[in-house]
Structure 1
Amino acid sequence: MNTHPPIITPFRRPLIPLVLAYSIGLFTGPSLPFPPMYLLLVTVLVLGAGALALWASRPVSATLSILVAIFLFGCLRYLQAIHPQGRFHLSKVPEAMLTGRVGLEGVIISPPEDIPPGKGWRRERRIRFLVRVEEITLGGDRYQTSGGARVSILDPVHEYRYGERIRGNFRLRHPRGYWNPGAFNYRRYALTRGFQLEGWGREGEELHLLGRDGGNEMLRVVADLRETMLKRIGADLPPEEGGVLKAMVLGDQSGLSEEIRKVFLLSGTYHILVISGFQVGFFAGVLFFFARLLKLPPLAGSLITVVGVVLYTLVAGGSPPIVRAALMTGLYLLAVIAGRGRDLYNTLALAGFILLLWNPLSLFDAGFQLTFAATGAILVAVERWDLSHIARPWRWLLTSLVASAAASLGVLPILAFHFNRASVTGILANLVIVPLGGLVTALGMGYSLLLLLVREGFLPVQIVVLALTKTAIQAAQAFAALPLASVRLYTPTPLMVVTYFATLVLLLVPVFRRRGLAIALCFVFLLGQIGWKCLDRGGEFQATFLDVGQGDAIFLELADGKSILVDGGGTFDDRFDIGEQVVAPYLWYRWIRRVDVVVLTHPQFDHLAGLKAVLENFPVGEVWESGYPSYDSTYLWLQDFVRERQIRLRRITRGERIALGPGVVVTALHPPRPFFIPRKGRARTMANNNSLVLRIDHRQLRLLLTGDIEGEGEASLLDGGLTLDADLLKVPHHGSRGSSSAAFLRGVRPRWAVIQAGDRNPFGHPHHETLARYEAQGVQVFRTDRDGAVTFALRDGAVTSRTYRQELGVWAGE
């Protein structure tokens, strides 16, 4: 009888190459210029070739054909994920139809998230949740639709629960984020999380709860149990310890203070505050231990553990990290039942394959990457170094140390790529805090269940849980206070990440004998890439107008390697740090080691707030400002910080000329001394019209940076008799109606102009009359609210411009 060999005989673990091929297809999907039907046809042809190879007893050719087909299938799944099916899917609603209030009707399908009030302009408390939208009203017309929307209710009074049917009018938009090179892709994140629109609304006549008949009935019961647990934990424990316990046991982070978040982040143990593999695995281990203690058969113990993990996943909110961890744990237990529990690599690969089939965009999610990188590194390291011959207590300690070190090495480039951070003390901190976290999780879950039965809990258990939680917090604080507890890193390039993992795999996995030369070549190649990026840049002058929403931030890189940051942006909501989340990541992406000059045009939050993170994270040579007085807390902090760090502070006035390098001269055109006093006289108008205005001359390119001057400030510049001619103009005051007068534009005569304004900002910037004045002068206008970051570069006498929107492609809604 003629028998054919197995399809994947060249591989001991067939799922690993399949998942790699599929993942590479997902990763390269955006860059393939072929339409889906073409890819589908090629996939069918490749599968046909594989079938012929299998029939001809050519297993290697058949295997390669299958891998190519899986790769093409990954490309198709990516295209399908970013272009959801359905004629009336929410992703296809034009942005122009979302300018007014939009009616939605649907069902709440996520646990409501309580967001405490901020301290800035936006002080409202919010409740945020995901709605599965069934009907949308646009321009008075109703449409049956599909898709998800994440909505926030401002200053809520009513209680919102899973399964509640809701109807209301909301301010909506497509998720956008900040469009800068190297920035977090918020639109892709939104699609990964299942929402295509986001917005807010208020209670009142425009918002109605229609009953709780949506969702799954069992999930409604579980959601009520979870909500009861959260309320009783909050009532039974102090706010700090209660917030940590709710995060570790039930996945609710609304009670975590910024201080607690920071200490766990700096100590490298933030992962224990996010329910993931650690909590789920520990919970499964506890269940399995009790099953063994009761002398249940392995099959019964595994089944009980699987059921318990599923229930815990539902009670903990069912977020993507929990689902990932539950799936991996469940597959491992099923492998144990099937007698294949030792092949953990195939189990890990199968979990990844299932998750990526269900949601292809998860591949780009930082949590997904960290989970599989850490788990894979631990598996390889524990198998590579067999410690079974060591006595048990020491074996446990050494195994924990090896696992912690392996996980840290495995996630290092991912942490650098997504967060520009790594913890030096994380290996040791995890040895202490992870076991404490395990005890808190186990006892906390038992305590939460006890609170369902006894409202006041049980005092001895409460004391133990409180003591363990407080100890975990104190341990995190101790490790966070150590020198170099957290180190900032530049953003590695994709090639660096690949080279790093290739080096790590060659070091840990005996892929082939005599691999020392390959390891050395990979290591030298990696060092060469890092060295190349660290070389002093030169030869090109570059000005980048960053997208910081409704604010200004301009980064100038001079031909001799010096750099200038003019303003740092800011938001209305102090719960989002524009400097930490947007400006500093751009500088790390550009591998900027030092900012030679930081310029504050005037002390208002939309120009000032982001400078705090820059000053804290980068060496700064000088700080320039106009000296206009302010009692803003961030401005006062900046004055103290500059004085403590002995950074030179220069108060610039009209007429000063400063040479910054070969062929670069900065001239201050405004404000005068004494300060300019506009006729309107309001505090905000005073600050705007006393903005520091700079003209930067760089050989063939002249820039005029105007801060927030308004009409009267522009008139003062024109009356001063100073030269205003510029090729590139930063449009004054975000393009407001009262700025960019016709006389001012005739005085400047720019070729290009950049407006820095927030997408759909509440001020209506830029005003249509202002845009008309620029059009009448024949000026080419760029806008960060539409174009994202705008970069002008001067090389060999030629000026080129590019926008980040062009690089985003489909993620910019094109």
Structure 2
Amino acid sequence: MRLSYLTRPLFLSLLSYLGLIILADQWEFFVRQAGNGPGLAATGALVEAVGSLRAPVVLRPSRSRAILEISQIDARPVVGRILMVWSGPAWNFEPGDVLRVKGKWYLPPRARFQGGFDYRGYLARQNIYSILSVQNAQLEKKGGFSVSRWAYRLRSSIQSVYAREFSPSQQGILSGIVLGEKSLLPRELNRAFRDAGAMHLLVASGSNVAFVWLLVFSLGGIAGMGERAKLFLGAFFAGVYTCVAGADAPLLRAYLMALAVAAGHLLERDSGLFQALALSAWLILIYSPQSLFMAGFQLSYVAVLGLIWAIPRWQPFFSRWAKGSGRDLKTIFIGIGAASVVCQLVLTPILANTFHQISIIATVSNLILVPLAASLMGLGLAVYACWWLPVPWLFEAAAWASRLSLTAFEGLVAFFAGLPFSSVSVGSLSGSQIFAYYLGAFGILALPSWKTFFRLGAGGAVLALLLGSQRFIFGPGLEILELGGIGARSVLCRARQGETWLVDAGMSGTELVRQLRQHGVGRLNGVFLTSCRKDSWRGLQRLAEDIAIESVYAPADIAVDPSYLRMRKSLARHGAAWVEAWPGWSQPAGPIEWSMESFSGFTGHPELDDAVWKLKRGSEDINFSAHEFDKIAQ
């Protein structure tokens, strides 16, 4: 791919359209559509809705969800989509069924604080504007035959076979690899996949579609079929797989991208790949402009753009390195390694802004896990196919091979995730920082074209240096950030040298972890509790599971509170030291000093006492207390 491709009319018009979408989002055009959507009832009101069930239906042991294309609410005609959520046993309804549901009606919550998760905006970008907590559902009309209905039945059949033959963790892994369904994956294993940089293997996307396509393509070659016939047959079966795996937005996007790549191959034009990629993005964004802000859209297109940009430039080196014995095996590993490096490089800003975590070990782990995941996908499909055959030993052999491979796969994921340098937490990047990053990244990927490297890479490096030095030179020596908004009790204190402290963890632990990662915090030097009551520490136990805490400083507590003691033991297991402080305690931390004061009559009884933590930096004193949870400059 040449730099001149970026000046083609199709790509330039796409950039202009992207700019319009971004402006519309800044003006909250898509979120304001909630007023014109199906949100006609007062929030929390009990309503009755009638509509058609859409795929996918996500069934979970604790809480399931599905999308309903509604036609009426409380006997009033309404057109739109709602997100249904319910607890309890799974439904027997299928996509296409017309349901009559009763439940409480809610508008999705907006972000409670600057930088928080805007659930209303997230759903609005999927054309969903309301939530219905379902209490009762009845079948109004059975749906007729449809592709989505047939695909849903086949998907359910595959999952039932996996549930019978494999352990819960193995079922979760295999369902994720084959169908992209990772809801049954245990939380600890989910975290391990994330830290090992292997979470993408549990998402049905381009790699799965490509696997099916290439498998059919290879079988067609063995059968002596022509090039076009193999491509069209591969496109058909890849389309079938897309439907069975859920046919949601990421899968459809990946399938359309695969069609674009195939079109470029048929045209025998290097530029055809890039032009077809731009055209597929046009089609998706015309149908659903909000897709631009979905992480799946960004990850898919940026990754493919990076591969198109870099791989043709590196191809001569691959051929040179793969010479000699075992050429095919060398080519496979070199290709996987190169693709991992390219994808990790170009996706870093998106991963940082979406998940606030980047896997350092991903390039190495994917060299082993990607081929093994491909074999597991083949074994998973074989297990289901053999289940229908009247040959029990063949099915048992496929299931045994799958169990063995799954055990090895799970062990490797745990090994890579357990390495001390496996992943790092990072903060969100600004628009100018992302721009500088991509100038540098695509300049590096342009090598050995030194002219392009200096035009892009050098410019990006200079801009990044200026942006980085700006914060270090002109940024505040001590940064105080209130987390959680109204009703939450947590303040992040960060020094320019990199030390970070937290005052209170009085909010959801999951939300607290998310916000700290958003600010680039992967380790806390200390957590200071303004009281021993639960409203000061309720998120602390969950916080320690994901973010390392050196020490916890709390008011001395001579009373015994069972839940408080359990929390302390849990933190000790995660390596956090516990310091009980009385008034007058102090500890220097470089140019900063923490000390504890108290209101009159400190007793050591949590129901009576509150601490005042004083942070002193030079002539500046900042007080934090349970009574006045604010920054007070004296």
Class of the TM-score when normalised by the shorter of the 2 chains: 0.7 to 0.9
1: distance between equivalents of 2:230 and 2:604?
81
Residue among 379, 397, 422 paired with 2:358:
422
- CA pair 603-615 structure 1, distance change in 2 beyond 3 A: farther
- CA pair 364-667 structure 1, distance change in 2 beyond 3 A: same
Whether the 8 Å CA contact 1:232–1:455 is kept in 2: the answer is no
**Structure label with greater radius of gyration:** 1
Paired amino acid for 1:226: R
Paired amino acid for 2:15: L
Residue among 557, 561, 577 paired with 1:630:
561
Deviation at 1:657, TM superposition (A): 8.0
Whether the 8 Å CA contact 1:381–1:403 is kept in 2: the answer is no
- CA pair 23-691 structure 1, distance change in 2 beyond 3 A: farther
2: distance between equivalents of 1:697 and 1:486?
31
Whether the 8 Å CA contact 1:538–1:560 is kept in 2: the answer is no
Paired amino acid for 1:494: G
- Equivalent position SS for 1:213: coil
Whether the 8 Å CA contact 1:128–1:153 is kept in 2: the answer is yes
- 2:476 corresponds to: 538
- 2:38 corresponds to: 90
Whether the 8 Å CA contact 1:598–1:620 is kept in 2: the answer is no
Instruction: Please give the residue correspondences for 1:455-534 in structure 2 after superposition, counting only pairs within 5 Å.
Output: 458-509=395-446, 513=451, 516=454, 519-534=457-472
Paired amino acid for 2:383: Y
2: distance between equivalents of 1:614 and 1:244?
26
- Equivalent position SS for 1:422: strand
Deviation at 1:395, TM superposition (A): 3.1
Deviation at 1:135, TM superposition (A): 1.5
Whether the 8 Å CA contact 2:507–2:538 is kept in 1: the answer is yes
Indicate whether 1:350 and 2:279 are aligned.
Answer: yes
Indicate whether 1:212 and 2:212 are aligned.
Answer: no
Deviation at 1:198, TM superposition (A): 1.8
Name which of structure 1's ranges 491-500 and 558-567 shifts more when overlaid on structure 2: 558-567
Instruction: Please give the residue correspondences for 1:641-652 in structure 2 after superposition, counting only pairs within 5 Å.
Output: 641=571, 645=575, 647=577, 649-652=579-582
- 1:766 corresponds to: none
Indicate whether 1:601 and 2:546 are aligned.
Answer: no
- Equivalent position SS for 1:145: strand
Instruction: Please give the residue correspondences for 1:99-178 in structure 2 after superposition, counting only pairs within 5 Å.
Output: 99-116=44-61, 125-137=62-74, 142-156=75-89, 158-176=91-109, 178=111
- 1:585 corresponds to: 517
Indicate whether 1:286 and 2:222 are aligned.
Answer: no
Deviation at 1:211, TM superposition (A): 3.2
Residue among 112, 118, 124 paired with 1:185:
118
Deviation at 1:645, TM superposition (A): 4.5
Deviation at 1:649, TM superposition (A): 1.0
Deviation at 1:177, TM superposition (A): 5.8
Indicate whether 1:692 and 2:610 are aligned.
Answer: yes
- CA pair 340-525 structure 1, distance change in 2 beyond 3 A: closer
Whether the 8 Å CA contact 1:565–1:597 is kept in 2: the answer is yes
Whether the 8 Å CA contact 1:600–1:608 is kept in 2: the answer is no
- CA pair 428-225 structure 1, distance change in 2 beyond 3 A: same
Paired amino acid for 2:400: I
1: distance between equivalents of 2:6 and 2:421?
43
2: distance between equivalents of 1:10 and 1:407?
20
Indicate whether 1:407 and 2:343 are aligned.
Answer: yes
- Equivalent position SS for 1:240: helix
Deviation at 1:447, TM superposition (A): 2.5
Instruction: Please give the residue correspondences for 1:260-271 in structure 2 after superposition, counting only pairs within 5 Å.
Output: 260-271=189-200
2: distance between equivalents of 1:288 and 1:271?
24
Residue among 425, 430, 446 paired with 2:382:
446
- CA pair 334-468 structure 1, distance change in 2 beyond 3 A: same
- 1:67 corresponds to: none
- Equivalent position SS for 1:474: helix
Residue among 319, 328, 333 paired with 2:262:
333
2: distance between equivalents of 1:281 and 1:183?
36
Paired amino acid for 2:210: G
- CA pair 98-11 structure 1, distance change in 2 beyond 3 A: closer
- CA pair 263-545 structure 1, distance change in 2 beyond 3 A: closer
1: distance between equivalents of 2:492 and 2:406?
44
Whether the 8 Å CA contact 1:251–1:275 is kept in 2: the answer is yes
Q: Deviations over 1:511-546 (max 9, x none)?
A: 893753763342132133234445695377756252
- Equivalent position SS for 2:476: coil
- CA pair 703-475 structure 1, distance change in 2 beyond 3 A: closer
Whether the 8 Å CA contact 1:423–1:486 is kept in 2: the answer is yes
Q: Deviations over 1:372-394 (max 9, x none)?
A: 22222222221111223442333
- Equivalent position SS for 1:252: coil
1: distance between equivalents of 2:206 and 2:397?
29
- CA pair 543-221 structure 1, distance change in 2 beyond 3 A: closer
2: distance between equivalents of 1:218 and 1:310?
11
Q: Which runs of 5+ in 1 are unaligned?
A: 1-8, 33-77, 117-124, 676-686, 708-728, 731-791, 798-814
| TM-score between the two structures when normalised by the length of structure 2 | 0.85
Whether the 8 Å CA contact 1:135–1:143 is kept in 2: the answer is yes
1: distance between equivalents of 2:594 and 2:267?
72
Paired amino acid for 1:552: R
Name which of structure 1's ranges 599-608 and 404-413 shifts more when overlaid on structure 2: 599-608
Deviation at 1:13, TM superposition (A): 4.4
Whether the 8 Å CA contact 1:101–1:172 is kept in 2: the answer is yes
- 2:309 corresponds to: 380
Whether the 8 Å CA contact 2:416–2:422 is kept in 1: the answer is yes
- CA pair 669-512 structure 1, distance change in 2 beyond 3 A: same
- CA pair 295-176 structure 1, distance change in 2 beyond 3 A: same
Whether the 8 Å CA contact 2:527–2:553 is kept in 1: the answer is yes
- CA pair 477-659 structure 1, distance change in 2 beyond 3 A: closer
Whether the 8 Å CA contact 2:504–2:527 is kept in 1: the answer is no
Q: Deviations over 1:549-577 (max 9, x none)?
A: x7533445699998653322345xxxx82
Paired amino acid for 1:506: G
Paired amino acid for 2:236: V
Instruction: Please give the residue correspondences for 1:559-578 in structure 2 after superposition, counting only pairs within 5 Å.
Output: 565-571=502-508, 577-578=510-511
Paired amino acid for 1:436: L
Deviation at 1:605, TM superposition (A): 7.2
Name which of structure 1's ranges 423-432 and 377-386 shifts more when overlaid on structure 2: 377-386
- 2:626 corresponds to: 706
Q: Deviations over 1:395-417 (max 9, x none)?
A: 33322222111111111122122
Q: Which runs of 5+ in 2 are unaligned?
A: none
Deviation at 1:603, TM superposition (A): 4.7
Deviation at 1:251, TM superposition (A): 2.2
Deviation at 1:446, TM superposition (A): 3.3
Whether the 8 Å CA contact 1:401–1:427 is kept in 2: the answer is yes
Deviation at 1:108, TM superposition (A): 1.6
Paired amino acid for 2:610: L
Instruction: Please give the residue correspondences for 1:42-53 in structure 2 after superposition, counting only pairs within 5 Å.
Output: none
Whether the 8 Å CA contact 1:178–1:547 is kept in 2: the answer is no
Whether the 8 Å CA contact 1:247–1:274 is kept in 2: the answer is yes
Structure 1 residue ranges (4+ consecutive) displaced by more than 6 angstroms after TM superposition: 9-12, 454-457, 557-563, 657-665, 695-704, 792-795
1: distance between equivalents of 2:49 and 2:489?
34
Deviation at 1:502, TM superposition (A): 0.8
Indicate whether 1:25 and 2:20 are aligned.
Answer: yes
1: distance between equivalents of 2:89 and 2:194?
31
How many residues align? The count is 617
Q: CA RMSD in A?
A: 3.7
Q: Deviations over 1:287-341 (max 9, x none)?
A: 1111222122222222211111111111001122211111111222244445557
